[in-house]
Structure 1
């Protein structure tokens, strides 16, 4: 098992994942932020590799990607930064981004390099399931990387079952069909959606992302799922202070306090 699979085997509830964009707010801070998040109590991390056209992201993460690109971040630089990752960080780490830079880098090369630096999984929202299954699944398997699929409120049951069969760690459950950054509506519709997925009794746990901006949303997600992902709220926090490393424990305490 990779670290991600071990985590889900050992802990079933209230898992907190944090997303941040590599190269934002500054270049060469990726591992510093990751280490601070682990010390503060995050259960696993998602490090975004920036792209010029992040179609699934709202303004906050789009701006962080632009800042990162302007700072000189790319996959070559990221893998150089992550060379020391496992000397300082023990929790599972995923890379999250779009298919264009991954394919340009070379998927086989990308997977080998990710495994080499200690990455446990990859989230690529715009990678079609059939392309993953037919073209790239062996690259992921050969390097012990989990590929994380996304499910939305509109995803059909048969597709969800197909995703469940192809998954080996967790399924990323989008709280809505919106882009990142839109606050989760704590209403009956969300309860119905989460309950419908829960009742399917999937073999893989589900983690909720998009709109988890405070403890109420985190608790709602954890009521039906194994945990939740905080992205835009953390990126906003990084933008709010120059001394962001010192304030990370307080930020994490909002969700795990």
Structure 2
């Protein structure tokens, strides 16, 4: 498992995009170009017909991906040569329904075989993970990435930190994806509260990161930040692969 190391505030950039969007066979080409352009780790979404936590841009990308014919089976087939092209950590992100339909053990074994480092499943309850799936994940060296929200109690955050063997995904707000991050006093206090817990796990902040300014605000409190909607919008351009280096540079330069 490739690790995201916690070494102070490193300013790591993660990019989220949906597998099978904009075209069915674009998944690995985008990953390769993102690493070449300076992304530090990747989150590849496996599409679902009812993505309730996502805003309209990512919902639309899931709809198009499904229309293009993307399935979990096809995604793993596409990723079988992933590690010939990509060396940075790669995580799959999606909802529990397709995970259960595919089979959790089968999914984790497939992740191990193609070199996927972990899975982010926001609607997988922690107690279910602990009781039913923790051993399967660990036997296949696949991390389960837990979500922390502004409402998560300190006791639960401490438990998440103890269970984590990768990073913790910190939601900037309770909004859906695509809502612009505004680090006002309330959000800043929330980020500072988490930072002051001195957790052993790296923290990556997601939801609403879309610009150099919002990225720098986020990574002043965390190891990394995640951009999704703003990048998925880029993929609507005909020359999206050529635009990726300019996009990453605009965030990290």
Q: TM above 0.5, one fold?
A: yes
Which residue number in structure 2 is paired with residue 173 of structure 1? 170
Instruction: Determine whether 1:247 maps to 2:248.
Output: no
1:11 Cα deviation from its structure 2 partner: 7.8
Give the aligned partner of residue 136 of structure 1.
133
8 Å Cα contact 2:9/2:220 also seen in 1: no
Q: Residue 212 of structure 2 aligns with which residue? A: 215
2:64 to 60, 67, 73: 67
Structure 2 gap segments, 5+ residues each: none
Deviation at 1:138, TM superposition (A): 0.8
Structural mapping, 1:231-246, within 5 Å: 231-239=228-236, 241-246=237-242
Structure ranking higher in helix proportion: 1
- Deviation string, structure 1 residues 33-64 (Cα, Å, up to 9, x no partner): 00000000000000000000011101010000
1:199 aligns with 2:199: no
Instruction: Give the 5 Å matches for 1:73-222.
Output: 73-222=70-219
In 2, the alpha carbon distance for the partners of 1:8 and 1:254 equals: 24
2-structure distance, mates of 1:134, 1:17: 30
Q: How many residues align?
A: 253
Q: 1:71-104, CA deviations, whole angstroms, 9 ceiling, x for partnerless residues?
A: 0001000001001101111111000000000100
Deviations 1:189-222, CA, capped at 9 Å, x for gaps: 1110110001111111110000001111100111
Q: Scaled by the length of structure 1, what TM-score is found?
A: 0.97
TM-score in terms of structure 2 length: 0.98
1:162–1:125 distance in 2 versus 1, CA, 3 Å: same
CA-to-partner distance for each residue in 1:112-142, whole Å, 9 max, x for gaps?
Answer: 0011001001000000000001000111101
